[in-house]
Structure 1
Amino acid sequence: MDLKYLEALAAVAEHGRFSAAARALHTVQSNVSSHVAKLEEELGAVLVDRAVGSLTPEGKVVLARTKRINGEIAAMRADIASMTSHVTGDVSLGIIGTPGRWLLPPFLDELRRQHPDVDAMVVDSTTLALVRLLEGGELDLAVLNAPLEHEELVTTPLFAEEFVVIAPTGHALAALGDREVSFAELEQHELLLGPPGSVMRMQIDTAAARHRVTLRTLAQLDGIRLTATLAFQGYGPAIVPITSIPVWTDRGDWSVLTVTGLPPRQVALAIRRRGMLSAPAAAARDILRSVMRSVARRIPGVTAS
């Protein structure tokens, strides 16, 4: 199978038309059409719906594999370059929002210091979105919520951090002061929580169920920073990781309570199970772990794994 065939299919998927794909590849439309047709003949399936210019279900499967193949080719080039000189190339890292705020600055500084010719691209998103990007080959590494059960991905623990309740001044929970609060007490109030099915929400609900409590929601928000911000602004109390409270934030009109019997949030580093990390990605992985061990000592409520 010629790699040009896969390149043509990827260009059609990105640009939607054969003519636009040809311009992107700096060739003529007939070449793109011929390459896609030969790929379809070789695989025995229609990959592009010519009427609308979009991929068929079979085409989407081939495109997913194409992204992985392209990633392996880029990694191979980076590996060879690194063996003949120093580490050079690109690395793409995904990270969930709250750790990104305090982990990325020292990580990027150390990566630049040790490997100045490695270019890092960072994606800030939710665990679910990062899993999709990682399994599709668009990311090399991802820092995300754990535990994660996925056939294509493998995770290693990175750190754990305490959960807290942010209670706006004026709310009944804030009147309790900065102390531990039980699930039985939380059951009496509506809370800002993550969406059902998210890793963090399942962890909180599981702990509540062990205390025979079902928490009530004021709103379900897919974003820790958004959840914390609404609590800071007085909309309602929220259960969030402790580092969602920025270190530069002056103590405002809210209280912070810990929850009795709620285990810490677990965060892990995920990579694809198949294939090898490129030299830049392996370097980034090692630096990320080293930086995490150093930074965790300075952040209350965070423990490096």
Structure 2
Amino acid sequence: MDLKYLDALAAVAAHGRFSAAARALHTVQSNVSSHIAKLEEELGAVLVDRAVGSLTPEGEVVLARTKRINGEIASMRADVASMTSHVTGDVHLGIIGTPGRWLLPPFLDELRRRHRDVNATVLDSTTLALTRLLEGGELDLAVVNAPVDHEELVTTALFTEEFVVIAPAGHALAVLGDREVHFSELEQHELLLGPPESAMRTLIDSAAARHGITLRTLAQLDGIRLTATLAFQGYGPAIVPITSIPVWTDRGDWSVLTVADLPPRQVALAIRRRGMLSAPAAAARDVLRIVMRSVSRRIPGITAA
């Protein structure tokens, strides 16, 4: 199978039309049409719906594999270059929002200090979105909430982080002051929580269930920083990781309460189960672990794995 055929399919998927794909590949439309036709003949399936210019379900499967193949080729080049000189190349890192704020600055500084010719591209998103991009080969590694139940990915623990309740002024929980609360007290109030399918929400609900309690939601939000911001602004109390409170934020008119018998949030580093990390990705992984151990000593509520 010629790699040009796969590149043609990826270009059609990205640009929607054969003519636009040809321009992106710096070739003529007849070449793109020929490459797609040969690929379809070889695989015995229609990959592009010519009427609308989009991929068929079979085409989407081939495209997913194409992204992985291209990623492996780029990694191979980086590995060979790194063996003959020093580590060089690109790494694509995904990270959930809250750790990104305090972990990325020292990570990027240390990566540049140790590996000046490694170019890092960072994507801030949710665990669900990052795992999909990682599986598809668009990311090399990702910092995500754990556990991750995904047969194509493997995770290693990075750090744990305490949960707190942010209670805005005027709310009954805020009247309690900064102290420890029990699930029986939280049961009496509607809370800002993450979506039911998220790792954090599963952990919180499981801990509450052990006390025979089902927490009530004021709103379900897929975004820790958004959840914390709404609590800061007085919309309602929220259960969030402690570092969702920025260190540079002046203490506002709200209370911070710890929750009895609530295990810490678990954050892990995820990579694809199949294949191997490129030299730049492996370098980024090692730097991330080194920086995490250093940073954890300075941030209350964080424990490095």
Query: Normalised by the shorter chain, which TM-score bucket?
Result: over 0.9
* Unmatched tracts of structure 1, length 5 or more: none
Return the letter of the residue paired with 2:286: D
Return the letter of the residue paired with 1:134: L
Q: Take 1:26 and 1:239, find their aligned partners in 2: how far apart are those partners? A: 52
Deviations, residues 140-165 of structure 1 (Å, cap 9, x unaligned): 00000001111100000000000000
Length-normalised TM-score, structure 2: 1.00
Q: CA deviation at 1:250?
A: 1.0
Match of 1:110, SS state, is helix
Q: Take 1:58 and 1:257, find their aligned partners in 2: how far apart are those partners? A: 52
Pair 1:186 & 2:221 matched? no
Q: Take 2:190 and 2:253, find their aligned partners in 1: how far apart are those partners? A: 19
Q: CA deviation at 1:169?
A: 1.1
Return the letter of the residue paired with 1:147: P
Pair 1:118 & 2:141 matched? no
Aligned partner of 1:156 in structure 2 is: 156
Aligned partner of 1:304 in structure 2 is: 304
Q: Take 1:259 and 1:206, find their aligned partners in 2: how far apart are those partners? A: 14
Q: Take 2:14 and 2:186, find their aligned partners in 1: how far apart are those partners? A: 48
Q: Take 2:196 and 2:86, find their aligned partners in 1: how far apart are those partners? A: 46
Deviations, residues 192-227 of structure 1 (Å, cap 9, x unaligned): 000111111111011010010010111111100000
Q: Take 2:257 and 2:240, find their aligned partners in 1: how far apart are those partners? A: 11
* Unmatched tracts of structure 2, length 5 or more: none
Aligned partner of 2:79 in structure 1 is: 79
Return the letter of the residue paired with 1:95: I
Aligned partner of 1:94 in structure 2 is: 94
Aligned partner of 2:211 in structure 1 is: 211
Match of 2:209, SS state, is helix
Match of 1:167, SS state, is strand
Return the letter of the residue paired with 1:106: P
* Count of matched residue positions in the alignment of Structure 1 and Structure 2: 305
Return the letter of the residue paired with 1:101: R
Q: Take 2:175 and 2:30, find their aligned partners in 1: how far apart are those partners? A: 72
Deviations, residues 50-97 of structure 1 (Å, cap 9, x unaligned): 000000000000000000000000000000100111110000000000
Q: Take 2:124 and 2:6, find their aligned partners in 1: how far apart are those partners? A: 29
Match of 1:247, SS state, is coil
Match of 2:258, SS state, is strand
Q: Take 2:175 and 2:23, find their aligned partners in 1: how far apart are those partners? A: 65
Q: CA deviation at 1:8?
A: 0.3
Return the letter of the residue paired with 2:238: A
Q: Take 1:147 and 1:223, find their aligned partners in 2: how far apart are those partners? A: 17
Q: Take 2:87 and 2:236, find their aligned partners in 1: how far apart are those partners? A: 48
Aligned partner of 2:263 in structure 1 is: 263
TM superposition outliers: structure 1 runs of 4+ over 6 Å: none
Pair 1:70 & 2:70 matched? yes
Identity %: 88
Return the letter of the residue paired with 2:81: A
Q: CA deviation at 1:108?
A: 0.1
Q: Take 1:183 and 1:57, find their aligned partners in 2: how far apart are those partners? A: 47
Aligned partner of 1:227 in structure 2 is: 227
Match of 1:107, SS state, is helix
**C-alpha RMSD of matched pairs (Å):** 0.4
Q: CA deviation at 1:262?
A: 0.5
Match of 2:246, SS state, is coil
Aligned ranges for residues 118-137 of structure 1 at < 5 Å?
A: 118-137=118-137
Aligned partner of 1:175 in structure 2 is: 175
Aligned partner of 2:290 in structure 1 is: 290
Aligned partner of 1:8 in structure 2 is: 8
Match of 2:72, SS state, is helix
Pair 1:59 & 2:63 matched? no
Deviations, residues 217-256 of structure 1 (Å, cap 9, x unaligned): 1111110000000000111000000000000011101000
Aligned partner of 1:33 in structure 2 is: 33
Q: CA deviation at 1:278?
A: 0.3
Q: Take 1:71 and 1:197, find their aligned partners in 2: how far apart are those partners? A: 30
Q: Take 1:170 and 1:45, find their aligned partners in 2: how far apart are those partners? A: 63
Q: Take 1:169 and 1:48, find their aligned partners in 2: how far apart are those partners? A: 57
Match of 1:277, SS state, is coil
Match of 2:200, SS state, is helix
Q: Take 1:138 and 1:266, find their aligned partners in 2: how far apart are those partners? A: 24
Match of 1:217, SS state, is strand
Match of 1:130, SS state, is helix
Return the letter of the residue paired with 2:89: G
Aligned partner of 1:17 in structure 2 is: 17
Aligned partner of 2:103 in structure 1 is: 103
Deviations, residues 9-66 of structure 1 (Å, cap 9, x unaligned): 0000000000000000000000000000000000000000000000000000000000
Pair 1:272 & 2:272 matched? yes
Q: Take 1:152 and 1:237, find their aligned partners in 2: how far apart are those partners? A: 36
